[in-house]
């Protein structure tokens, strides 16, 4: 596993990042409580000072969440950059230790891609994982637990929304993952053709084969482009779908709340 190459100091940064994510989620989920308190104060004829006090608390939560998010991003970037540097060094040392027979099992283009594109992808995945992938389940579980003691209707609507998101993500991943796997091979092919043209530039010019090399590169480049477009088109469905589900969840929460208030009747009666 790649994360086993992290050093103790970097694991410490990961632990601090996770703690900051918990703090960020807590502050984000505290903002609706302040909004509810402000609404109650206004509807019950509270004073401006009371509204200002709750508003300052909500503002403090917003700035605290922002500070935690920035700190998490900085730590995640440092951990990811350190890990990628170490992986490149380990890969270089490993390749240097190969025998001639072992070297023949790898193409130069493949080794270039492994040490550049692949490690960059790992770096981005680690950086995003410490921010988004860690935060998403914490936020979902915490929010569900927070509303679970309010009304079963809200819990049910949230569960349906989470199930819908899981279905959308699963369907998109089913179509996208094979294309992303193919990207690695296609990137190797582009690197191979480019390197072939650069190292053999004198031969290419001597035989007047520039157009042939251009067509060869265009074919490899177009194949990679088409594969990327296909994968990104499938991925483009995810964000609108997730936004639609979350918007429908917000509408359902308001509708259920209005229904519960209406069913309870007038509190003054």
- 112 and 181 share one domain: no
Q: Which two tokens stand for residue 207?
A: 């035989």
What is the pLDDT at residue 266? 54
56 lies in the same domain as 185: no
104 and 67 in one domain? yes
Residues 33 and 132 in one domain: yes
Please report the pLDDT score of residue 72 as a whole number. 92
Indicate if 136 and 14 belong to the same structural domain. yes
Q: Which of 149, 178, 199 is the last residue of a domain?
A: 149
Helix (H, G, I), strand (E, B) or coil at 71: helix
Q: Does residue 265 have a pLDDT over 60?
A: no
Q: What angle do CA 108, 219, 228 make, to 5 degrees?
A: 85
C-alpha span between 83 and 123 (Å, rounded): 7
- Cβ–Cβ contacts within 10 Å for residue 139, how many? 16
Same domain for 135 and 162?
no
Same domain, 35 and 101: yes
Q: Could you list the residue range(s) of the whole structural domain that residue 33 is in?
A: 1-149
Overall average pLDDT of the 152-176 stretch: 83
Between residues 252 and 64, the one the model is more confident about = 64
Cβ(81)–Cβ(123) under 8 Å?
yes
Residue scoring higher pLDDT (192 or 108):
192
What is the arithmetic mean of pLDDT over 107-114? 79
* Average pLDDT over all residues of the chain: 84
Number of residues written out for the chain: 269
**CATH at residue 162:** 1.20.1560.10
pLDDT(240) > 90: no
Q: pLDDT tens digits for 115-140? A: 888 888 888 888 888 888 888 788 87
Residue at a domain's end among 95, 130, 149? 149
Asked if 265 and 158 sit in the same domain, the reply is: yes
Least confident of 52-61, 228-237, 259-268: 259-268
pLDDT band at 264 (very low <50, low <70, confident <90, very high): low
pLDDT of 36 above 90:
no
pTM exceeding 0.75:
no
pLDDT at 131: 83
Over residues 22-35, mean pLDDT: 87
pLDDT of residue 269: 43
Nearest CA-CA partner of 165 in 132, 148, 197, 140: 140
Same domain? For 193 and 143 the reply is: no
Q: Supply the pLDDT for residue 66.
A: 92
The verdict on 136 and 7 lying in the same domain is: yes
Top pLDDT among 149 and 219 is at 219
Q: Are residues 129 and 229 in the same domain?
A: no
Would the pLDDT of 80 be above 80? Answer: yes
Tell whether the model's pLDDT for residue 109 goes beyond 80. no
Backbone angles phi, psi at 265, to 5 degrees: 85, 180
The contacts of residue 77 (CB under 8 Å, 6+ apart) are 127
| All residues at 6 or more sequence positions from 182 whose CB lies less than 8 Å from its CB, including other chains | 227
Q: Which position has the higher pLDDT, 222 or 160?
A: 222
Is the same domain home to 181 and 197? Answer: yes
Residue that terminates a domain, selected from 118, 149, 180? 149
Q: How many domains does the chain have?
A: 2
């Amino acid at each position: 596993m790649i994360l086993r190459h992290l050093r103790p100091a970097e694991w410490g940064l990961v632990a601090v990042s996770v703690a900051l994510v918990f703090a960020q989620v807590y502050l984000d989920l505290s903002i609706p409580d302040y909004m509810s308190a402000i609404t109650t104060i206004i509807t019950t004829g509270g004073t401006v000072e009371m509204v200002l006090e709750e508003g300052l608390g909500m503002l403090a939560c917003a700035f605290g969440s922002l500070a935690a998010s920035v700190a998490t991003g900085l730590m995640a970037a440092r951990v990811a950059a350190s890990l990628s540097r170490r992986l490149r060094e380990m890969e270089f040392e490993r390749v240097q230790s190969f025998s001639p027979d072992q070297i023949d099992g790898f193409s130069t283009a493949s080794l270039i891609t492994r040490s550049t594109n692949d490690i960059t992808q790992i770096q981005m995945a680690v950086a995003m994982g410490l921010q988004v992938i860690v935060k998403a389940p914490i936020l979902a579980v915490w929010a569900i637990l927070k509303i679970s003691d309010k009304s079963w209707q809200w819990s049910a609507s949230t569960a349906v929304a989470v199930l819908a998101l899981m279905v959308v993500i699963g369907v998109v991943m089913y179509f996208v993952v094979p294309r992303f796997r193919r990207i690695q091979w296609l990137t190797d092919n582009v690197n191979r053709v480019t390197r072939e043209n650069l190292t053999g530039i004198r031969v290419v010019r001597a035989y007047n084969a520039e157009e042939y090399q251009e067509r060869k590169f265009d074919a490899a480049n177009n194949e990679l482009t088409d594969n990327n477009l296909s994968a990104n088109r499938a991925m483009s469905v995810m964000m609108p779908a997730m936004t639609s589900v979350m918007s429908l969840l917000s509408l359902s929460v308001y509708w259920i709340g209005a229904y519960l208030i209406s069913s309870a009747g007038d509190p003054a009666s």
